[in-house]
Amino acid sequence: MKKIYSILLGFAFIAGGCKKYLDIKPINEQPDTYVLQTKANVLAVLYAAYDRVQADKFVGGRSLIAAELYSDNVDMTTSSLVSSQDYGPFSNRNFGIFNNVGRDVWSTGYGAIYNANIVIDAVDKNLFPDATDAEKAVLKAEALFIRAISHHNLVRVFALPYSNNPTSDPGVPLRITRPTPAEALIPVPRAKVADVYQQIITDLKAAEMVLPATNGGRATSWSAKALLARVYFDMGDYANAYTYANDVIANGGFSLGANVTLPFRNVGPTQASGGVIFQVINMTGDDNSSKLRGEFWNSNAANIIFYVDPAFYQSFDPLDARRNSLINPPGANKAYSLKYMGSNPVNIPVIRLAEMLLTRAESAVRKGGYVAADVRADYNSLRTLAGLAPDLLSSTDSELLTAIQQERHFELATEGDRYYELRRLKQNIRGLAYNDKLQLLKIPDSETRANPDIEQN
Domain ranges of the chain: 4-440
Dist. CA 376–CA 144, nearest whole Å: 35
Q: Are 285 and 17 in contact (CB under 8 A)?
A: yes
What separation, in Å, do the N-terminal and C-terminal C-alpha atoms of the chain show? Answer: 17
- Per-residue pLDDT tens digits of the chain, which is 457 residues long: 333 333 333 333 333 233 332 333 334 334 355 679 899 999 999 999 999 999 999 999 999 999 999 999 999 999 999 999 999 999 999 999 999 999 999 999 999 999 999 999 999 999 999 999 999 999 999 999 999 999 999 999 999 999 999 999 999 999 999 887 777 778 899 999 999 999 999 999 999 999 999 998 899 999 999 999 999 999 999 999 999 999 999 999 999 999 999 999 887 776 678 999 999 988 887 788 888 888 999 989 999 999 999 999 999 999 999 999 999 999 989 999 999 998 778 889 999 999 999 999 999 999 999 999 999 999 999 999 999 999 999 999 999 999 999 999 999 999 999 999 999 999 999 999 999 999 999 999 989 998 888 999 9
pLDDT of the residue at 144: 98
Dist. CA 65–CA 414, nearest whole Å: 8
3-state secondary structure 42-65: HHHHHHHHHHHHHCCCCCCCHHHH
Quote the pTM value: 0.93
CB-side neighbour CA atoms (13 Å) of 318: 0
Dist. CA 117–CA 143, nearest whole Å: 7
456 Cα distance to chain centroid: 23
Q: What are the E-state strand segments in 165-273?
A: none
pLDDT of the residue at 32: 57
pLDDT of the residue at 345: 83
Let me know if domain 4-440 sits in CATH 1.20.120.420.
Answer: no
User: Could you give the 3-state DSSP secondary structure of residue 352?
Assistant: strand
pLDDT of the residue at 335: 96
> CA of 229: how far to CAs of 236, 337, 447, in Å?
11, 27, 31
What is the identity of the amino acid at 111? G
pLDDT of the residue at 148: 98
Dist. CA 119–CA 220, nearest whole Å: 17
Report the 10 Å Cβ neighbour count for 373.
10
Nearest-10 Cα torsion for 167, 170, 176, 182:
130
pLDDT of the residue at 21: 28
pLDDT of the residue at 3: 34
pLDDT of the residue at 22: 33
pLDDT of the residue at 183: 78
- 189-219 as b/e, with b when 16 or more CB fall inside 10 Å? ebbbbbebbbbbbebbebbbebbeeeeebbb
| Main-chain dihedrals φ then ψ at residue 337, nearest 5 degrees | -70, 145
User: Could you give the 3-state DSSP secondary structure of residue 411?
Assistant: helix
